Amino acid sequence: MLRLEAVSKRYGRAAPVLTGVDLELTAGQVVAIKGGNGSGKSTLLRIVVGLSSPSTGIVTGRPASIGYVPERFPPDERLSAAAYLLHMGRIRGLTTRVASRRAARLCDRLGLIGDASAPLQRLSKGNAQKVAVAQALLVAPQLLVLDEPWSGLDITAHGVLNELVTEAAGSGAAVLFTDHGDALTSAGASVGYELTGGRLRPRPGAAGQRHVVTEVVLAAPVTGPQPRRVQWSALPGVLDTCHEGDTVTVRVADEHRDALLLAALRRGWSVTELRRAAASAQPPGSGAR
């Protein structure tokens, strides 16, 4: 367990950026922090991953394997995306062959557009963000920390990133991410906080919140290979599932519907029906039936 106890951060004689922050991260947990620009989110994440030291307080239990996506990925890097990812993989102990293969798979999955041999400084913001996400996942992390990772990504990459976060947590990683909006802050998060005035406070639970819900009916295709097994309840926004033979009905909060459809299609499932369901007060990820 990674634990921050009474962590504060001050630069010079300025007002403190963080004050008395307590935070615990455990294996398999997905934690979201919401906060506006200048609220101290990036400073907190740099302390979590060990790039910055707190002015007061202690950090214990930091794991050896950490994947980190910073808020701003270096825009002036002259290395190409392919060369950069290969270099980062080798630094982390991968062979050239394994690093190259993993980098190519992640870039393909995230939908990197254009020439991977082009210098990073020429990439669009969205493509640079995809490279930043890829480098964080080259080696399976025990702790995955992402600073506003959805910024600049296209809608397809949004869904893929949701999948990657879910998969990392499912493999035992603790995941911590920040966002300044409401829709993505709850994406797969089991715990939510808000950072205001340098203080971290738990966000109100989802109990009683009404979710607009879509029922997605999925089936194995009549011909072709069988679809891959999916732990539907672990996907962001899923409220519950119902299995009947080769058909599964998934009830999902509307803001996560497209990500669910993308995950299903990527795994070989056929979408047979979409229908509006009654609004639900059940929080996402609460179970299956």
DSSP state at residue 80:
B
- Going from the N-terminus, what domains does the chain have, and what CATH number goes with each? 2-202 (3.40.50.300), 211-280 (3.30.70.100)
Are the beta carbons of 21 and 44 closer than 8 angstroms?
yes
- What is the per-residue pLDDT for 221? 84
Are the beta carbons of 8 and 57 closer than 8 angstroms?
yes
- What is the per-residue pLDDT for 239? 80
pLDDT means over runs of 10, the chain (289 residues):
95 93 92 90 97 97 96 78 94 96 94 82 88 95 94 82 88 90 59 91 58 83 81 76 87 80 87 77 48
- What is the per-residue pLDDT for 75? 62
Q: How far is CA 95 from the centre of its chain?
A: 26
Q: 3-state DSSP helix/strand/coil percent for the chain, to nearest 5?
A: 30, 30, 40
From the number of C-beta atoms within 10 Å of its C-beta (0-12, 13-18, 19+), residue 87 rates as: middle
CB contact set of 115 (below 8 Å; sequence gap of 6+): none
CA distance 35 to 102: 33
- What is the per-residue pLDDT for 209? 44
- What is the per-residue pLDDT for 185? 47
Residue 253's DSSP bridge partners are: 213
Instruction: Provide long-range contacts, Cβ within 8 A and 24+ apart, for 82-87.
Output: 82/116, 82/117, 83/117, 84/120, 84/131, 84/135, 85/131, 85/134, 85/135, 85/138
Are the beta carbons of 268 and 227 closer than 8 angstroms?
yes
User: pTM of the full predicted structure?
Assistant: 0.72
As separate numbers, helices (DSSP H) first and strands (DSSP E) second, the chain gives 7, 13
